[in-house]
A and B are shown apart, each in its own frame.
Chain A
Amino acid sequence: MSETPIVSADQIAASAPLTGQPMVKAEQVWKSFGKLDVLKGVDLEVYPQQTYVLLGPSGGGKSTLLRCINHLEKIDAGRLWVGGDLMGYRQRGDVLHEMRSGDVARQRSLVGMVFQRFNLFPHMTAIENVMESPIHVQHVAHKQAEAEAEELLTRVGLREKLDVYPAQLSGGQQQRVAIARALAMKPKLMLFDEPTSALDPELVGEVLDVMKNLAREGMTMVVVTHEIGFAKEVADGVALIDGGVIVEEGPPNEVLVNPKEERTKVFLSKVLA
């Protein structure tokens, strides 16, 4: 979509090499809503600059796992770290202390999230959506935030739509604004929750292109999607989640081409049919 990288070089340089500390680490994560166990002991490691794709049937727990990573949902058991920090808790000795909302917000500001339903702020123009958090959370000067927002929107191909309200944008354009909005916080990690599921088929490509560029530029990404093609093309790791557990994981050319588990085979045959 553009030749200039979306992620700045120092952002990439700041992240550790692939062999270092994982960007996301989940250890026996459990999550239940009432009596319904949605996650039943999930282990996951995503390393810096990796693109990790979560596949699986709906209701299997993949979106919940994503929402646990940035603490939009509290986990019931296990541990979850982002960039080496426990999400939502502070550990002193053996005792866990819940974090105050301000500290949770600080942690979340390092993790960008893109939603299935875009969730742009409808009362702000495209550029105001992108500037909002840098100005009010990171206290970036208005002029600088505006310049950076303009740059980001240009890179996702929306140079002509800066002053347009979300309601006047197509789904694909809205989702690209949402990606720019998340990137404006200069996150270390990006989470995508079925970013193309609510789009008309002909608009899926433009959003996937932006995501592919991001992946190639070295952004660490965890992506929940049904786009097997995207997974094959850019994923470093793929996991199939069903029934609240990771059924199978590995590099895409193993999991997607020669799956070992019966459940993976069944799922893939349905998705690819």
Chain B
Amino acid sequence: MDADKVAAAGGDPAAAASRPEAIKAIPVRHWGRWISAIVIIYFVVALLYSFIKNPNVQWSVIWHYLFMRYTLIGVANTIEMTFAAMVVGAVGGTLLAVMRLSANKVLSTVSWVYIWFFRGTPVLVQILFWGYIGALYYRLYLGLPFTGLVFWSTLAADATRHIIVVAILALGLNEAAYAAELVRAGIISVDAGQTEAALSLGMSPALTMRRVVLPQAMRVIVPTFGNETISMLKTTSLVYVLGGAVELLGRMQQVYAMTFQIIPLLIVASIWYIFLTTILTIGQHYIEAYYGRGFGQDEAEAAEKRAARRDLRRAGMSHV
């Protein structure tokens, strides 16, 4: 086999076999790198030492509150708010993006105004606004306007007592405005030739969007949407201004308002936020890998695996 290869290489085995000896040289010493590294390590160690050995950190207090049921419920509420708000944001954002790209002028204008309004005001203001909606509308109705038809109504004050609902609404509607721009950018990034190819195969515009354009847009959207989720996790902490001690920071704040252990409780909150962010980052990696299929580096290997599975299926069928 090897002999064949050598022979095929042109009848001169020596030319094919003799690779020149690799260069051996003394590498350049980068003194600057060594010195800067030592200086940085020196300061980092000093900073860590001052923090860990600081009695005001009160590690025992941190440990006491870290896994307390009260804290864990706050963590659970933070997670719930984050995901529910992101779902509202993703669904609303996709809807707004499609409206924005629609040929219907009314739809695209409404979408534009929505995005303009919700991106134009701080999210903290929006949270407060929803929290105090009762001062604007005494009653909330679900029905057909101007017809007197009402399916359901409630006192605004009763509704805003559910802080989680208010938070999800405020954060989700705000996120929708940002997600809309994200989805729109993703859709626009897909080559027009893809739409043409899909249409030429007899796909309807809706099917083309669902099967061809959106899956490819996802490759652009997912990394940014992952960042938005991580950002949302931390933005939920703003909800503490509505009181009620629902999410993580709100609960920690509730405790230190009574015990004055401000720093230890802020550290407890920080530990949980960092932990959750890390989990999300790992999850993001796998989702990106899924939507990046067909673009990766190890595609040859993956294709072999798929081919092997196909052969197995075929062999299995022939037995039946």
Give me the interface of A with B, judged by CB distance under 8 Å: 70, 72, 101-102, 105-106, 108-113, 115, 117, 119-125, 132-133, 136-138, 162-168, 178, 181-182, 185
Beyond the given pairs A72-B196, A182-B201, 4 more chain A to chain B contacts, judged by CB atoms under 8 angstroms and listed by A's residue number, are: A112-B201, A119-B194, A120-B197, A123-B216
Q: Nearest CB to that of B193 among chain A residues? A: A119
A-B contact pairs, 28 of them (CB 8 A): A70-B200, A105-B203, A108-B199, A111-B200, A115-B193, A117-B193, A119-B193, A119-B196, A119-B197, A121-B197, A121-B216, A123-B216, A123-B293, A123-B294, A133-B201, A136-B211, A137-B203, A138-B202, A162-B310, A163-B306, A163-B310, A164-B303, A165-B293, A165-B294, A165-B303, A166-B294, A182-B201, A185-B202
Closest B residue, CB atoms, query A138: B202
Cβ-neighbour of A168 out of B191, B200, B299 (below 8 A): B299
Interface flag for B274 (CB, 8 Å):
no
Contact of B200 among A106, A113, A162 (CB under 8 A): A113
Question: A122, A133, A165: which contacts B202 (Cβ < 8 A)?
Answer: A133
Distance in angstroms between the alpha carbons of A185 and B202 in the assembled complex: 9
Whether the pair B202, A106 counts as a contact (CB closer than 8 A) is yes
Residues of A within 8 A of B310 (CB): 162-163
**Contact between A109 and B303, CB atoms less than 8 A apart:** no
Contacts of A185 in B (CB 8 A): 201-202
Residue of A nearest to B295 (CB): A167
Chain A residues with CB under 8 A of B303: 125, 163-165, 168
Taking a contact as CB atoms under 8 Å apart, the answer to whether A136 and B200 are in contact is no
Interface of B is mostly: helix
* Bound complex: CA A132 to CA B193 (Å): 16
Q: Which residues of B lie under 8 Å from residue A111 when comparing CB positions?
A: 200
How many residues on B have C-beta within 8 angstroms of the other chain's C-beta atoms? 29
A122, B197: Cβ atoms under 8 Å?
A: no
Interface residues of B in 49-82 (CB under 8 A from A): none
List, in ascending order, chain B residues with CB within 8 A of A168's CB: 299-300, 303
* B216/A122 in contact, CB under 8 A: yes
**Least Cβ–Cβ distance between B137 and chain A, in angstroms:** 41
List A contacts of B307 (CB < 8 A).
162-163
Chain A residue nearest in CB terms to B304: A163
Do A108 and B201 touch (CB < 8 A)?
A: yes
Name B204's contact: one of A101, A117, A122, A132 (CB within 8 Å). A101
Looking at the assembled complex, report how far the CB atom of A189 sits from the nearest CB atom of chain B, in whole angstroms.
Answer: 11
Using A136-B203, A163-B307 as known contacts, say yes or no to A115 and B197 having CB atoms under 8 A apart. Answer: yes
User: Which of chain B's residues have a CB closer than 8 A to the CB of A113?
Assistant: 197, 200
Which residues of chain B are within 8 angstroms of A124 by Cβ–Cβ distance?
A: 294
Task: Collect the chain B residues with CB atoms within 8 Å of residue A110's CB.
Answer: 202
Complexed CA–CA distance, A137 and B212 (Å): 13
Query: B205 on the interface (CB 8 Å rule)?
Result: yes
List B contacts of A182 (CB < 8 A).
200-201
Instruction: Kindly state the separation between the CA atoms of A181 and B306 in the bound complex, as whole angstroms.
Output: 20
The reply to whether A109 and B294 form a contact with Cβ atoms under 8 Å apart is no
Contact with A along B200-227 (1 / 0, CB 8 A): 1111110100011001100100000000
- Residues on the A chain within 8 Å of B293, using CB: 123, 165
Q: Which of B202, B212, B215, B216 contacts A108 (CB 8 A)?
A: B202
Q: How far is the CA of A105 from the CA of B203 in the complex (A)?
A: 6
Q: Which residue of B lies closest to A113 (CB)?
A: B200
Residues of A within 8 A of B295 (CB): 122, 165, 167
- How far, in whole Å, are A108 and B191 apart by their CA atoms in the complex? 20
Docked complex Cα distance between A137 and B198 (Å): 10
**Are B196 and A105 in contact, with the CB atoms below 8 A?**
no
Chain B residues within an 8 Å CB radius of A167 = 294-295, 299
**A72 and B201 contacting across the interface, CB-CB below 8 Å:** no
Taking a contact as CB atoms under 8 Å apart, the answer to whether A115 and B204 are in contact is: no
Measured CA separation A115–B201 after assembly (Å): 12
Residue of B193, B197, B207, B306 most packed against chain A (CB within 10 A): B197
* Closest chain B residue to A178, Cβ basis: B197
Q: Is the CB of A109 within 8 A of B201?
A: yes
A197 CB to nearest chain B CB (Å)? 14
